[in-house]
Amino acid sequence: MDEATARIEELRDLIHHHDRRYHVDDAPEIPDADYDALLSELRVLEAEHPGLITPDSPTQRAGAPGRATFAEVRHRVPMRSLDNAFNFDELRAWTDRVLKRLDDSVAPVTWACELKFDGLAVSLRYEDGLLVQAATRGDGQVGEDVTANVRTIGDVPDRLFDGAPAVVEVRGEVYMGLKSFADLNAVQEAAGAKPYVNPRNTAAGSLRQKDASVTATRDLSFWAYQLGEVVGGPQQVSHLETLEWLESLGLPVDVHRVHFDSVDDLVAHVATVESARHDLDYEIDGVVVKVDDLRLQERLGFTARAPRWAVAYKLPPEERTTRLLNIEVSIGPG
């Protein structure tokens, strides 16, 4: 291996490491200027040795040339929706149905809880640890190819860490944090342009830009919550164990995930989330509750549209106060 090749590989490993520390662990080890210097050195070396550029290089993500194709992508494992519960009575009724289906052979049932980010569902396909395709959910059977745009999202690794299986499809949510949304609207207003309405619609629109360099300016985020197709991966026994495995591969997962053996404790947690939603730096529209045991999930199965082992508790819409400035009365003819 010559000196240039060795240095390029070293720089890529360093940058991937610091990407994890920044985006996944939330514990950066070096200043932004030092990170930028590493990336700049890598760009120079790759420009001098273009034959050494690989798809998983950090230089091939944010701001890199690329256009989304929006070609149809058929999901190998359907991306189903979730049934909803709109109040605590409906949430308890759902847990009752689950327990009734499982009868008395299982006790207690552990309930896994995650925040329901208000964003756009996507599926990321990795082969031998490399990101090869990203697709929207679409109708659950067929989505759209948004690979070029997803590569611009800092939270999405181009290359998973050691231990990645031959194939793993990761389902998750693309969203825009509140600070990123405010910063984007500040730029809009400074340019005399119309501000965006809300983070969710802005994230969805940003992900569907034809030019990926536009998406790269939108500071989108991602978190993983489920597996699709997996070939050659380890056997997990619980949903929360699966999330820990995804995190070990370098993917961000919900840091607020918890589990309960008591339905009363589960309901109390949802009430706490509802009262604390304004303390978060992103918008949520609910809490997703799942049966944690994957063997029990398999026993419960699916309806035509949704899993029986999961439900989305939907938080009530946020109430906002509007100040009335003026009333103009006009009288029409007649």
Give catalytic residue positions: 116
13/136 Cα distance (integer angstroms): 29
Q: Is the four-CA dihedral 202, 204, 209, 215 of positive or negative sign? A: positive
Nearest Cα to Cα of residue 25 among 253, 289, 233, 211: 253
User: Across-strand partners of 130?
Assistant: 127, 159
319/302 Cα distance (integer angstroms): 34
Buried b (16+ CB within 10 A) or exposed e, 172-182: bbbbbbeebbe
Encoded amino acid at 217, one letter: T
Nearest Cα to Cα of residue 305 among 184, 70, 137: 137
Contact 230, 169 (CB under 8 A): yes
Residue carrying structure tokens 């103009």: 328
Q: In angstroms, what is the C-alpha Rg of the chain? A: 22
Contact 43, 15 (CB under 8 A): no
Strand order from edge to edge, sheet including 167-175? 130-136, 120-127, 167-175, 221-231
Contact 306, 82 (CB under 8 A): yes
170/129 Cα distance (integer angstroms): 12
Contact 130, 185 (CB under 8 A): no
Tokens of 85: 């519960």
Contact 244, 195 (CB under 8 A): no
289/266 Cα distance (integer angstroms): 9
